[in-house]
């Protein structure tokens, strides 16, 4: 199946609301648990934070972390900020409007760099991956998870029926478009190597997710 690009930024209020209301609880919890297993601690950067699900889960789970979430969508960040303001852990979370391909942070300034299902929004993610790697301190934990593209359109439609059976039609369409826009595992391995990532492994996490990851070394 050929890759079909999606828009890089979901920046309407309607898109942000629809995405926020989708049931991401299973994949988000799996992402959180993998971060914990990889040694998440200290200062964490969440790239493409969207409506802020991952940062809020992190500070609820881990007492010793602070999280910076960045996104290019102002409407997504508005929804994230509402979550932060209503949380007892608000002081440990910050949301910023920023481009993950040109991060406004010094090299090696985060103990953990993470991203959940953002790569498929980017036409060529090598700059994204290189920037994520640049701001990670040597020996930090790294987790870039995304969908992977199924081999056929029929398989993509089957995955939508399996995982979004009770979703609204627009939400099912969003998942289908994301599967069409995702990379294949071998494509991502090549992109990671070309972006300069070293000692990073690629793992197939589920019937539709894959991860580039590195365990923290303290």
Give every residue of the chain whose pLDDT is below 50, as ranges: none
pLDDT at 192: 98
Let me know: does 163 contact 182? Beta carbons within 8 Å.
Answer: no
Start-to-end CA distance of the chain, whole Å, equals 42
Quote the pLDDT of residue 6.
80
Give how far Cα 121 sits from Cα of 34, 58, 125, 179, 181, Å: 22, 23, 9, 11, 7
- Which domains, from first to last, does the chain contain? 13-214 (3.40.50.150)
Distance, in Å, from the CA atom of 184 to the CA atom of 187, rounded to the nearest integer, reads 5
Which letter does DSSP use for residue 90 in this model? Answer: G
pTM of the model: 0.93
Burial 73-82 (b: 16+ CB within 10 A, else e): bebbbebbbe
Q: Measured between alpha carbons, how far is residue 27 from residues 23, 32, 205, 210 in Å? A: 9, 9, 10, 11
- Other Cβ atoms closer than 10 A to 180: 19
Q: Which residues contact 209 (CB under 8 A, 6 or more apart)?
A: 27, 30, 117, 145, 146, 147, 148
pLDDT tens per residue, range 96-123? 999 999 999 999 999 999 999 999 999 9
* 3-state DSSP assignment of residue 108: coil
């Amino acid at each position: 199946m050929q890759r079909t690009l999606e828009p890089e930024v979901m920046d309407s209020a309607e898109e942000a609301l629809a995405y926020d209301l989708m049931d991401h609880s299973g994949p988000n919890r799996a992402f959180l648990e993998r971060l914990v297993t990889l040694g998440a601690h200290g200062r964490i950067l969440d790239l493409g934070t969207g409506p802020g699900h991952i940062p809020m889960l992190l500070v609820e789970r881990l007492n010793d972390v602070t999280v910076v979430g960045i996104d290019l969508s102002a409407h997504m960040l508005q929804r994230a900020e509402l979550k932060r303001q209503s949380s007892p852990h608000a002081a440990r979370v910050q949301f910023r409007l920023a481009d993950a391909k040109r991060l406004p942070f010094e090299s090696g300034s985060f103990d953990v760099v993470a991203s959940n299902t953002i790569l498929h929004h980017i036409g060529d993610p090598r700059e994204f991956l290189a920037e994520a790697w640049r701001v990670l301190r040597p020996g930090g934990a790294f987790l870039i998870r995304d969908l992977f593209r199924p081999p056929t359109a029929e398989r993509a439609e089957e995955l939508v029926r399996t995982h979004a059976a009770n979703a609204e039609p627009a939400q099912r369409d969003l998942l289908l478009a994301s599967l069409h826009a995702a990379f294949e595992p071998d494509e991502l391995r090549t992109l990671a190597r070309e972006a300069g990532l070293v000692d990073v492994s690629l793992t197939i996490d589920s019937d539709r997710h894959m991860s580039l990851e590195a365990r923290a070394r303290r």
